[in-house]
Structure formats: structure tokens, C-alpha cells
Amino acid sequence: MVDAREPHHVGEAAALEETGRHTLGPHVVGQRIVVRRVVRGETGPSGGPALTDLLGVCTAWGDGTCVVRPESGEPVRIPIADIVSGKPVPPRPSVRQRVPAREAQERGFSLFADLRTRPLGGWVLRHSPTATARRANSVLAFEPAGVPEAYEQVVAHYAATTGRPIAAVLPGSAEDELFRGHGWALESHDADTVFQLTSVSQALRALAASTRAVPDAGVRVELDVVGDQATARLLLDTGERIGGGVAAYDRDWVGFRTIEVDPEHRRRGLGLAIMAELLDWGAERGATTAYLQVLGDNEPALALYARLGFREHHRYRYLAATAGR
């Protein structure tokens, strides 16, 4: 682990000569970086300028200054001219990223108020009488079922409910191969779905720093809360609904679905305004982890959520029984 204050004893003079020769810049804002810098006015053990390392998230770069927020303590303002070297470093692995994919998916069951689930060994049969979303009307098959005739039970269950058997599987998994072996194929031309996670605190910090998360004049976000589910309505002053979204709280996780803004009102930061209201609601209930799901080729949505700190946890795809099977 890097000590944020301990001076380095070797190569100080040589390092000082390299001050300013690094690859950091405005592009690292929002990233976790390590910076080696000169400590002006202090002398190192060998008689040259003292050097120190700082590890944290770069929150600003400009006007001759780099601002780094360490994991504890106040942000540090570093004159760019004093930076000897630096580089981005991978985010610290989080406990939430180690949650199994099936467990993460099960948190999402709360997003559909009337969802009916039934375990089938290691699989879960899912059906909603009102929702049309595939994740509410498919078998969650992320691990071996481990029970006899599981496949046949899936087919029978969805023949009696939706009329179209669909399976959610991890790409390249044994379950992917099993259903394909029965003649199933990709349910649509959609890209694989990306399940993303972040900490609620990180997302809230990002929203607080964004002026676009505040609704325009004449626009407001209202929440309708029923139990552990909140529905956001994005409204004009006239009362016209121009967007919305749904959030659900479950065991200190808050999830989101159908965050949308009418096409003629997009590119105004209104999606962020919806997320801000729903995140605040989840935080008030004690949520520490936020999650959502987005298609892997939806670049605008992926870019938006990346700015809030969301990172990929896993990907999955939907397979459907072909006609006659």
C-alpha cells in the first residue's frame, strides 16, 4: 500500500529533473490515480527536495492545479508543476463486486411489485401478470438446476403463463449450451445486458458535482412511493408527464429500471434529475449499493451511468425456444 506522506529516499534529484514529464491530464478526472510530487520547502534524507506519493481520485485538473481526493481526509490541491510522475490505477475491488451474479439478479426481483417466483433447483422461474419485461418473464438460469427434468418444467411453466419460454443465461455457460442444444436461439437482436453496480455514496457525490442533475425551470420530479418501491414522474409545470423511472429497495440495495425521458426533452440532464431523486429516496432507506441494467450497445446510457460510478458486474443474454420446439 502506498504511504501518502512518507518521503522517498532514492533518486530524488533525478526525479526532480523529470518534474512535469508524465501522462496525467484532464482525461484522468474521475479516475483513481497515484501521483508522485515534490514537497516544496522540505528536504529529503539525501539533501534534495522531498518527494511524496498520494493515492486517490482526481476530482479536478486545470488552472495549474490537480485536485486529488484520498480515501480518507480532505482533498489535496497539487500544483501541476510539482508533479514528478503519476498514472491511473485500477479501482479498489469492492465487496459488492464479489456478490454472485445470481444473488445480484435476485435483488432485482423487487423492481416488479407483482413478480411471482418459484425455485427450480438452482434456477428461478419468474412471471409477472402485468409486466412485459423479459427479466420478469423468464427463467433465471445462471447455474446448474440440479433437479430432474428441469428443462421440461421450464417449457411447461411458460407454455401455461406467457406462452413463450425465455431463459436468461450467462454467455458461454453450461446453461447457455444446454438451451441452445434444445434448439433455442437469441431471443432478439439486442446486445447482451450489462448488470452494473456502484456505491450509493459515490453516485450521490457525482450527482452533487453535476449542475445538470438539477431540473430546468418549469420541470419537476415527483415520487409516488408504495412500500419499498418508488415511481418517479418527470413533469412539466402544465402537469404533462415527459419521463420517469422506477426504483426499489431491498436489503440495503436500491435498483432502477425504465429511466426514460421523452425524445424531444433529452440532452438536458433530465435523466440525471430522475436518478438524483430516486437515489436520494434509496439513501434515506439505508441503501448503500445501487444497481441497474442496460443493453451493452446503448452507449449514451453507459456513458451516463459511468459518470455516476456504475461499473459492470456481469453480462447475460436471453434465449428463446424457436417455433415448433
Query: Grid cell 497539487 — which residue?
Result: 78
Q: At a CB cut-off of 8 Å and minimum separation 6, what does 180 contact?
A: 319
Amino acid identity of residue 150, one-letter, is A
Task: Specify the range with the lowest mean pLDDT, choosing from 16-20, 81-85, 150-154, 159-163.
Answer: 16-20
Question: With bands split at pLDDT 50, 70 and 90, how would you rate the model's confidence at 325?
Answer: very low
Q: Is the predicted pLDDT of residue 22 greater than 80, yes or no?
A: no
Query: Residue 257: how many CA atoms within 13 Å on its side-chain side?
Result: 19
The band of 47, judged by pLDDT with boundaries at 50, 70 and 90, is confident
Three-state SS for the chain is CCCCCCCCCCCHHHHHHCCCCCCCCHHHCCCEEEEEEEEEEEECCCCCEEEEEEEEEEEEEECCEEEEEECCCCCEEEEHHHEEEEEECCCCCCHHHHCCHHHHHHHHHHHCCCCEEEEECCEEEEECCCCCCHHHCCEECCCCCCCCCHHHHHHHHHHHCCCCCEEEECCCCHHHHHHHHCCCEECCCCCCEEEEEEEHHHHHHHHHCCHHHCCCCCEEEEEEEECCEEEEEEEECCCCEEEEEEEEEECCEEEEEEEEECHHHCCCCHHHHHHHHHHHHHHHCCCCEEEEEEECCCHHHHHHHHHCCCEEEEEEEEEECCCCC
pLDDT bucket at 132, cuts 50 / 70 / 90: very high
pLDDT beyond 90 at 112: yes
Check pLDDT > 90 for residue 102. Answer: yes
pTM: 0.71
Residue 223's pLDDT band, with cuts at 50, 70 and 90, is very high
One-letter amino acid of 320:
A
Greater confidence, 274 or 322? 274
Lowest mean pLDDT, pick from 16-25, 33-42, 175-184 = 16-25
pLDDT digits (tens, 9 = 90+) for 167-200: 999 999 999 999 999 999 999 999 999 999 999 9
Q: Which of 63, 65, 68 is nearest to 52 (CA)?
A: 68
Q: Are the CB atoms for 107 and 292 separated by under 8 Å? A: no
Is the pLDDT confidence value at 9 over 60? Answer: no
Q: Is the pLDDT of residue 5 over 70?
A: no
Residue 154 has pLDDT above 90, yes or no: yes
| All domains of the chain in start order, with CATH | 12-88 (2.30.30), 96-189 (no CATH), 194-313 (3.40.630.30)
Q: What is the mean pLDDT of residues 225-253?
A: 96
